[in-house]
Amino acid sequence: MTKNARNRRRTIGLAGAGAALALFALSGCSSLPPEVEFGGASTIKVGAGPGGIVTADVNGDEIPDVITSDFMANTISVLFGDGKGGLAAPATFPTGTVPSDIDLGDLNGDDILDVVTSNYGTHTVSVLFGDGKGAFGPPTDYTAGEGVAPNRVMLADLNNDGNLDAATSDFHKDGISVLLGDGKGAFGEPAHFPVVFDPIRIVSADLDADGNLDVLTANFGANKVGILKGDGEGGFTALDPLPTGDNPAGLRVADLNGDEALDVVAASYGDNNVTVFIGNGDATFKEGRDFPVDGTAPSALTIADLNDDGLLDLAVANGISNDVSVLRGDGAGYFSPPAVFPMKGDDPRGGLIAVDLDDDGMPDLVTANHNTSDISLLLNDGTPSDTKKRAKK
């Protein structure tokens, strides 16, 4: 991205924390949001080279579990939560070749969560049916297209038939593949839709409130977020992309300012910042605002209320400095200077999730660390609000 392009965006990255405080004042926020604090990180080994991470209760005990896709082991690792902040040693189940990412959903209508992985090595997606007790069956593979090299996968109902479909971001083909689900656990032939260069993240959201899901991609080589407008029948049309910092590697969508329009956040690996695009509710966005993360090479991003003030915050996993940055939201689309928490493990490119592991009402953070084949747990030391305490009684 050129210097002129960066200057066209409203940025706080050059001025640092002082500019951040000034923007908070402009947003009408009289004080910074409550602080956050995470305890010392611990690690648990998983399969080699985790590339993706998700969380859900997969064994029916009402306690969240964690699952990784293990890029270099051709497995998924399933770690059962104990509800006290710990996770059991992983059970592993085979997948297709080089599983680069993972998602969860009920693919066959039995009210039990199943797994889908994108398989970079064989240009396929694998379906593993869950048994409701935490085990998963052998993989069934479906082609994502010849030579597409799918690096990310998501599940969503993209054609409004009530069944989950799969979509992959295709690194080698500069596009996405859409595989429509039949509701019985199988997928049809892929349809391909082009995006700008090097997509490495994919999410879905209804950006214009028309009842149809749209798709967004983080395009690492193009320094853009791609937007594909959905037609509600599984087809997509490209809209104007959003300019980001260098090498966007993390991507999330949420309503950050409470106006019921969805906003977009991209984490830029090359610029060490996040860019926030406030949505207009019609799949267009205001100019991006940059916020520094004070870490090196942000590679994964999640959005959650981490300090229990009712407002959404950002957490970013930094792939070279091996730490997690937390930027507290003010509810108007602005964010505080980052608090940075060290983590154990190396290169959390596999992802970052927020999940309450110790049942205290506060989201904890878990990273998937590609180079050390482990996950890092950072437990939230914050205190839940009185309202949340009363609700738990």
Average pLDDT over residues 176-190: 98
Residue 102 pLDDT exceeds 70: yes
**Average predicted confidence (pLDDT) for the chain:** 92
Residue 21, pLDDT score: 52
pLDDT at 33: 85
Confirm if 291 and 277 have CB atoms less than 8 A apart.
Answer: no
SS (H, E, C) the chain: CCHHHHHHCEECCCCCHHHHHHHHHHCCCCCCCCCCCECCCEEEECCCCEEEEEEECCCCCCCCEEEEEECCCCEEEEECECCCCCECCCEEEECCCCEEEEEEECCCCCCCCEEEEEECCCCEEEEECECCCCCECCCEEEECCCCCCEEEEEEECCCCCCCCEEEEEECCCCEEEEECECCCCCECCCEEEECCCCEEEEEEECCCCCCCCEEEEEECCCCEEEEEEECCCCCEEEEEEEECCCCEEEEEEECCCCCCCCEEEEEECCCCEEEEECECCCCCECCCEEEECCCCCEEEEEEECCCCCCCCEEEEEECCCCEEEEECECCCCCECCCEEEECCCCCHHHEEEEECCCCCCCCEEEEEECCCCEEEEECECCCCCHHHHHHHC
User: Amino acid identity of 349?
Assistant: R
Whether the pLDDT of residue 16 is over 90: the answer is no
pLDDT, tens digit, 9 for 90 and up, residues 124-135: 999 999 999 999
∠ CA 225-333-274, rounded to 5°: 40
Among 302-316, 348-362, 378-392, the range scoring the smallest mean pLDDT is 378-392
Query: What are the backbone angles phi and psi of residue 200, rounded to the nearest 5°?
Result: -130, 0
CA 135 – CA 114 distance, rounded (Å): 10
Q: Which of 21-30, 216-225, 305-314, 336-345 has the lowest mean pLDDT?
A: 21-30
Which of 25-39, 188-202, 328-342, 346-360 is least confident? Answer: 25-39
pTM here?
0.92
pLDDT for residue 28 is more than 80: no
Which of 97, 100, 87 has the alpha carbon at shortest distance from 55?
87
Identify the CA nearest to 291 among candidates 15, 35, 29, 33: 15
What is the pLDDT at residue 354? 98
Residue 391 clears pLDDT 50, i.e. is over it: no
Residue 15 pLDDT greater than 90, yes or no: no
